[in-house]
Amino acid sequence: MLKSVKSKLTGVGGRKKEGENGRPAVSQMTSKKPSTGGTTRSSIPQMEVLYDTNKPLFLFRDVVASERQNLFIKKLHLCSYTFDFTDATAHVREKEIKRQTLLELVDYVNQGQGKFTEAVFEDISHMLAQNLFRGLPPSNYEITGNAAGDNLDPEEEEPTLEPSWPHLQIIYEFLLRYVVSNEVDAKVGKKYIDNTFVLKLLELFDSEDPRERDYL
């Protein structure tokens, strides 16, 4: 069924982007064009600048309405930085700042603060692509391959849970609120949430984490 959906979207069989083990290639703050589900954002500062404790970002309620779109973009830039969750002790403060900021972004989109400009669409697409489109580890079933014979049931094995789920869950919430928002101009939005973007979302059904598949 998944192959059928991909085929309809691409018209050429929905071929996956090449990557190790057939998974989506890892996205690492690289320049992207809107037609590929991402944007060029080479000017976004690195973590040390984004998470500078001496220059924290204001809350949306603490700035005048005319400044909220600019603040929205700054928060999108902050959330475009992705962390390595394999070390639970690394960047604990920064990870929590990002989690809280993602919650703010969901609330901002939910409330409807005025029509988004096309410049904001680019930053939204970049943030989503940086966090969602990543390399997925092979499942235990793929690792063992034929060595385990027919005794291995992929339905019974323990799933591999995504360690970055505290961030990913909120990003999926943001994506949902974003695509159904009355504040989004659908004609402009289709330039960024395009066929390529949807195909990359479909590839994430390979995730071993059942929570992610449920959100998808």
17 has a pLDDT exceeding 50? no
For 17, 51, 80, the CA distances from 135, given in Å and listed in that order, are: 11, 25, 16
Residues 6+ apart with CB under 8 A from 53: none
pTM of the predicted protein model? 0.74
Structure tokens at 20: 């190790």
Instruction: Give the pLDDT score at 194.
Output: 92
Calpha distance 195→142 (Å, rounded): 28
Instruction: Give the pLDDT score at 129.
Output: 96
Mean pLDDT of the chain: 78
Residues 6+ apart with CB under 8 A from 157: 139, 140, 141
Amino acid at 211: R
Within 10 A of 87 (CB to CB), how many other CB atoms are there? 10
Instruction: Give the pLDDT score at 5.
Output: 53
Q: Which residue is it, tokens 């992610």?
A: 212
Q: What is the pLDDT of residues 72-121, one digit of tens each?
A: 999 999 999 999 999 989 999 999 999 999 999 999 998 876 677 888 99
Instruction: Give the pLDDT score at 12.
Output: 43
Calpha distance 204→213 (Å, rounded): 8
